[in-house]
Amino acid sequence: MKCQNESGCEGLLDETQIVPLRVGCAGFAQSFVCAVCGRLHWSSGKPVSNRQGLRAFLERDELVNRNADGAEIGRAPVGT
């Protein structure tokens, strides 16, 4: 699948690297990372965003939330 990052990235999703993301209180869902920009996408291909509209990226095995301008808002280990 092709990356759907708003920045116009032309990368492909690495479907061999599954990134588990917490959804709800106790559940997890699979996501895949773009090999070029690091943007996370759900298995449907839709880019991952949180309830505040922040975009999710994978950087050095950490989940990074960025606003529309690309500024880092928060960082956490994957799966927390």
Domain-by-domain residue ranges, the chain? 13-77
At residue 37, what is the residue type?
C
Share of the chain above pLDDT 90, in %: 55
Q: Confirm whether pTM is higher than 0.95.
A: no
User: How many other C-beta atoms can be found within 10 angstroms of the C-beta atom of residue 47?
Assistant: 17
Identify how many contiguous H helices and E strands the chain contains and give both numbers: 0, 6
Tell me the Ramachandran region of residue 70: left when phi exceeds 0, alpha when psi lies from -120 to 50, beta otherwise. left
pLDDT tens figures, 25-44: 888 899 999 999 999 999 99
